[in-house]
Chains A and B, each alone.
Chain A
Amino acid sequence: MDLLGHAAGRGVVWADDRANEGLIGLAEDPLEARPCSLGRIAPSPLAADDVVANLGGLPALDGLEHRPAVAEERPVLFAHDRPQAETLALVALERPADPGLDLGLIFRCGVVLHGHRIAEHLDEGVGIGEGQWAEDESAGLEDAHGRPEHSGRRTTICGVTIYLDHAATTPLRREALEAMLPYLTEEFGNPSSAHVFGRRARMALDEAHETVAAALNGGPREIVFTSGGTEAGNLAIKGAAWAGKAEGYRIVTSAVEHHATLHSVRHLAKFGFEVTELPVDRYGRIDPDELAAAVDERTILVSVQLANNEVGTVQPIAELIGRVRVARGRRTLVHVDAVQGAPYLAIDVQALDADLVSLGAHKFEGPKGAGVLWVRPGTAIMAQTHGGGQERYRRAGTEDVAGAVGLATAFRLCCEERPETARRLRRQRDKLRDAVMATGGMELTGHPRDRLPGHLSLIVRDAEGAAVVVALDLEGIAASAGPACTTGSPEASHVLAAMGFPAEEAAGALRLSLGRTTTDDEVAGAVAIVPGVLRRMREGSSALAADPLGQGVGV
């Protein structure tokens, strides 16, 4: 089946020439219109008779008939052959004003399976053209339930939202899920138990430690599994601060850290620790000289991120850590928040020369609720949860074996695929970036080169990022105005503020973040959809700014 076009959330036009007959129809729910057996096709929002009446009268459409789909009594239109189905699609696409058809929606966006898209023709009001039919059948990519196969090349389904928010979270990859399933079912043992169930769970947990350690070039005893990146960061910062209190009370971090860091150090400040939040440049980078100047004999901890979640900037981490070492050797601990960076940047803890590194599994297609803190051997941290002696007394509580296994599996694969993933993401991101920037009124944020490969962050001038995200969602693009953690709150981004953007500019922040499973089709879909939405948002926002209380909403 080929999807000819869609209006996200509103309907799709599709065609199917299986069994040597052309088929086109309107499906109300795009999710239901994925390649599948005819019986699962959603009901048309229109009575089929009305469709025939609206489209009738054209010679090419003579003999068009409608009848219930095979398995269920739902109306679909059958063309006699593929050319007739194509004609029908063209007519449908060219006659947006047809009453009852409302196919004008279809002009707004559209993607066809397997790289064939009609999207670029939509602005001109042209329907599908020569050579735009998909040549390969998609049937082979379905699983037993009629859903697209989850594979490295995820089948792009038109009408399904294109997910461009991988900086917020990523889907759980199938391999990780499969590795986890036994530990959520029959292998349910507590790793601390003496019996066979406990031993099996312990074995899996040990292997997860080893897998993660190997991927980081560290040792298995240096791995502490946590409930996620936030807990890992909290344990690193609070644990190092309290353990080092006898040596000093100063903590140095930067103004663009994740809230897991900033709120942790500000919490510590209430207990007598002195916190320095280093400024950053226009791109969000810390100046190594300023870091060196901020570190003194009372500084027990430096916490910096590898890459920024909001603007994608990668810190000059080697130089930053090097300057701390020159000044203080190992007397000042260095925590690297690698939650956002680890999926895309190789981490060798020996070369990095940090003391603590935190990771969050769901950023690299692992499960939510699983994270890691790597702790250099000999580094004292004080546990922040108390109870049993799990994770070498560093994190009490029965271990989430399935989470650890899922994290380890996802991280191993992530690291193996990383060079290839990063290359592809950079190419895809640049394509999307060029399309977005061509619309005008956009300003890129973050470092132009030293940035995460799939990360595109910008300011849409005159518009509000939160409003843009709503509009994009309604058009089938999932994006973010900033970090997912602060969605809905009115505060401006602390990252952009630290980078020198005034609040009114920062309000237009938009983030499109690609991930390993992002397909070229999805990028093409985004390229077709996003610029138009951004243009509309800029124009609409300017109109609203002139009339904020809607004193002339127009009839």
Chain B
Amino acid sequence: MSGGVDSSVAAALLAEGGVETIGVWMRLHDVADTYSEFKRSCCSADAGEDARRVAGQLDIPFYILNLEREFGAGVLEPFLAAYQAGETPSPCIDCNSTVKFGALIGRARKLYECDAVATGHYARVDEVDDAAAPGGRRFRLRRGVDGDKDQSYFLYGLRQDQLAHSRFPLGELTKPEVRSIARRHGLVTADKPESQEICFVPGGDYRDALRERAGWEGLPGPLIDADGTVVGAHQGAAAYTVGQRQGLGVALGEARYVTRIDAAANLVQLGRREDLEHQDFEVRDVVFTAGRGPAGDGLACEVRIRHRAEPVPAVVRRLTADGRGRRGTWRVELDRPVWAPAPGQAAVFYRGDEVVGGGRIARPAG
């Protein structure tokens, strides 16, 4: 229970349906110790108090679990490392894979004899017959019914064993329905606004997190144009994201966007909007939800390169097989170009409303 309306209603629906429900608010980082008079964050102490209040209204047990260590290892460290490597991290995906449906499922099952972890994600999981699966059954991860809210993109990393112990009570609902259920229950979170920020970056500027948590000091370096001309200086490669237009500090007539970040060379390259159109790119650390890749070396599917982006028909082809401790790299060949696939962000493979797998967009070679 994050203290938002979605997880509040997820808990309400479970409890109402006779499921023995235990409310948990995860204390994940030090921002969680502050109140909103000083810093605003979806995971601040205020949010924990809202979650506690809702659990009280639902008359379910409620606990604060400290998962700071796990969040640090599974989310924060990769987040800081990604920016410093010139990539754009996806902390929510890591949090789902390693904390909510990783560490928390582990605790729920091994310490408290619970069957599953439920969240307020707009996604669906079900079990279907699959002759090729062990035991003839496998779990499917599907988009939430509410197309605007669908959060399946953030869940692509869940394995079969994780899906088996995950519940998404909001999967069949729309956001207005969720709000109305919250109001019907009189939950204090019923009209709480959405939070979109990264929970451990209360001010909204991830560079603050880099400075405070990784001791990052922006080392200025060259800002080069598409043709290699130096057109200015950047404030440290980690401060930029592919596709970024604002805050570049250059005026070159036509609008310029960040097209490439080379952290090793401390170099940020710009280009025109059309330079960011890509019809194919590589995806590393690819996982398949069914626990095994497609039969051949290619798969026709739809690929989504960011949350709420329209999935684009594509063929994904295996470039390298899974290796020791490392997942394979696949090549995505889209039917039509997409704009600004950012290295480090997830590319998720769908077939219809089912998530079949995904990985992280790789940096282009060279």
Instruction: Tell me whether A57 is interfacial, beta carbon within 8 Å.
Output: no
User: Which residues of chain B have C-beta atoms less than 8 A from A489's C-beta?
Assistant: 33
Asked if B73 and A544 make an inter-chain contact with CB atoms under 8 angstroms apart, the answer reads: no
User: Which residues of chain B have C-beta atoms less than 8 A from A45's C-beta?
Assistant: 18
Instruction: Tell me whether B106 is interfacial, beta carbon within 8 Å.
Output: yes
Which residues of A, 1-25, contact B by the 8 Å Cβ criterion?
9-10
Q: Given A474-B22, A474-B61, A541-B111, are A550 and B104 also a contact pair (CB < 8 Å)?
A: yes
User: Which residues of chain A have C-beta atoms less than 8 A from B73's C-beta?
Assistant: 548-549
A544 and B69 CA atoms in complex are apart in Å by 12
Q: Which 7 pairs between the two chains have the least Cβ-Cβ distance?
A: A550-B102, A540-B110, A550-B106, A549-B98, A549-B102, A540-B111, A553-B105
Asked if B105 and A544 make an inter-chain contact with CB atoms under 8 angstroms apart, the answer reads: no
Which residues of B, 198-217, contact A by the 8 Å Cβ criterion?
none
Asked if B111 and A550 make an inter-chain contact with CB atoms under 8 angstroms apart, the answer reads: no
Asked if B63 and A470 make an inter-chain contact with CB atoms under 8 angstroms apart, the answer reads: yes
Asked if B161 and A470 make an inter-chain contact with CB atoms under 8 angstroms apart, the answer reads: no
Interface residues on A, range: 20 to 34
User: Which residues of chain A have C-beta atoms less than 8 A from B113's C-beta?
Assistant: 536
Nearest B residue to A550, CB-CB: B102
Q: Given A488-B27, A490-B27, A548-B69, are A553 and B109 also a contact pair (CB < 8 Å)?
A: yes
User: Which residues of chain B have C-beta atoms less than 8 A from A551's C-beta?
Assistant: 98, 102
Instruction: Tell me whether B180 is interfacial, beta carbon within 8 Å.
Output: no
Where chain B touches its partner, the secondary structure class is helix
List 7 extra interface pairs beyond A10-B20, A470-B63, A536-B111, CB under 8 A. Answer: A471-B112, A473-B61, A540-B111, A543-B110, A553-B102, A555-B164, A555-B165
A470 and B65 CA atoms in complex are apart in Å by 9
Asked if B99 and A549 make an inter-chain contact with CB atoms under 8 angstroms apart, the answer reads: yes
* Cross-chain contact of B111 among A471, A490, A554, A555 (Cβ < 8 A): A471
Asked if A474 and B112 make an inter-chain contact with CB atoms under 8 angstroms apart, the answer reads: yes
* Cross-chain contact of B103 among A536, A548, A552 (Cβ < 8 A): A548
Q: Given A471-B111, A474-B112, are A490 and B162 also a contact pair (CB < 8 Å)?
A: no
User: Which residues of chain A have C-beta atoms less than 8 A from B229's C-beta?
Assistant: none
Asked if B68 and A552 make an inter-chain contact with CB atoms under 8 angstroms apart, the answer reads: no
Which residues of A, 61-105, contact B by the 8 Å Cβ criterion?
none
A368 and B91 CA atoms in complex are apart in Å by 44
Chain B 19-39 against A: per-residue CB contact (8 Å), 1 yes, 0 no? Answer: 010100001000001000000
Asked if A537 and B111 make an inter-chain contact with CB atoms under 8 angstroms apart, the answer reads: yes
Asked if B161 and A555 make an inter-chain contact with CB atoms under 8 angstroms apart, the answer reads: yes
Distance between A123 CB and nearest chain B CB, rounded to angstroms: 16
Which residues of B, 30-80, contact A by the 8 Å Cβ criterion?
33, 61, 63-66, 68-70, 73-74
Asked if B161 and A467 make an inter-chain contact with CB atoms under 8 angstroms apart, the answer reads: no
Give the total of B residues in contact with A, Cβ under 8 Å.
34
Instruction: Tell me whether B153 is interfacial, beta carbon within 8 Å.
Output: no
A552 and B105 CA atoms in complex are apart in Å by 10
Instruction: Tell me whether B160 is interfacial, beta carbon within 8 Å.
Output: yes
Q: Given A470-B65, A474-B61, are A544 and B74 also a contact pair (CB < 8 Å)?
A: no
Which residues of A, 471-512, contact B by the 8 Å Cβ criterion?
471, 473-474, 488-490
Asked if A549 and B103 make an inter-chain contact with CB atoms under 8 angstroms apart, the answer reads: yes
Asked if A550 and B162 make an inter-chain contact with CB atoms under 8 angstroms apart, the answer reads: yes
Distance between B126 CB and nearest chain A CB, rounded to angstroms: 15
Spell out A's residues near B (CB within 8 Å): 9-10, 45, 466-467, 470-471, 473-474, 488-490, 536-537, 539-541, 543-544, 547-555
Asked if B161 and A554 make an inter-chain contact with CB atoms under 8 angstroms apart, the answer reads: yes
A124 and B107 CA atoms in complex are apart in Å by 27
User: Which residues of chain B have C-beta atoms less than 8 A from A555's C-beta?
Assistant: 160-161, 164-165
Nearest A residue to B134, CB-CB: A555
User: Which residues of chain A have C-beta atoms less than 8 A from B63's C-beta?
Assistant: 470, 473
Instruction: Tell me whether B101 is interfacial, beta carbon within 8 Å.
Output: yes
- Find the residue from B20, B70, B101, B106 having the highest chain A CB count within 10 A: B106
A489 and B33 CA atoms in complex are apart in Å by 8
User: Which residues of chain A have C-beta atoms less than 8 A from B160's C-beta?
Assistant: 555
User: Which residues of chain B have C-beta atoms less than 8 A from A548's C-beta?
Assistant: 69-70, 73, 103, 106
A543 and B66 CA atoms in complex are apart in Å by 17
Asked if A488 and B64 make an inter-chain contact with CB atoms under 8 angstroms apart, the answer reads: yes
Q: Given A474-B22, A552-B161, are A490 and B66 also a contact pair (CB < 8 Å)?
A: yes
* Cross-chain contact of B107 among A473, A539, A544 (Cβ < 8 A): A544
User: Which residues of chain B have C-beta atoms less than 8 A from A471's C-beta?
Assistant: 111-112
Q: Given A10-B20, A470-B63, A490-B27, are A549 and B70 also a contact pair (CB < 8 Å)?
A: yes
Distance between A308 CB and nearest chain B CB, rounded to angstroms: 24
Distance between B29 CB and nearest chain A CB, rounded to angstroms: 10
User: Which residues of chain B have C-beta atoms less than 8 A from A10's C-beta?
Assistant: 20
Asked if A544 and B68 make an inter-chain contact with CB atoms under 8 angstroms apart, the answer reads: no
A540 and B111 CA atoms in complex are apart in Å by 5
A290 and B73 CA atoms in complex are apart in Å by 43
User: Which residues of chain A have C-beta atoms less than 8 A from B33's C-beta?
Assistant: 489
A467 and B109 CA atoms in complex are apart in Å by 13
Distance between A249 CB and nearest chain B CB, rounded to angstroms: 33
Asked if A470 and B112 make an inter-chain contact with CB atoms under 8 angstroms apart, the answer reads: yes
User: Which residues of chain B have C-beta atoms less than 8 A from A470's C-beta?
Assistant: 63, 65, 111-112
User: Which residues of chain B have C-beta atoms less than 8 A from A541's C-beta?
Assistant: 110-111
Nearest A residue to B94, CB-CB: A549
Asked if A553 and B165 make an inter-chain contact with CB atoms under 8 angstroms apart, the answer reads: yes
Asked if B22 and A553 make an inter-chain contact with CB atoms under 8 angstroms apart, the answer reads: no
A489 and B34 CA atoms in complex are apart in Å by 12
Distance between B141 CB and nearest chain A CB, rounded to angstroms: 15
Selected A-B contacts with CB under 8 Å, 12 pairs: A10-B20, A466-B66, A467-B107, A470-B65, A471-B112, A474-B112, A540-B107, A541-B111, A549-B74, A549-B102, A550-B105, A555-B165
- Find the residue from B33, B66, B73, B99 having the highest chain A CB count within 10 A: B66
A189 and B69 CA atoms in complex are apart in Å by 55
A490 and B18 CA atoms in complex are apart in Å by 33
Nearest A residue to B97, CB-CB: A549
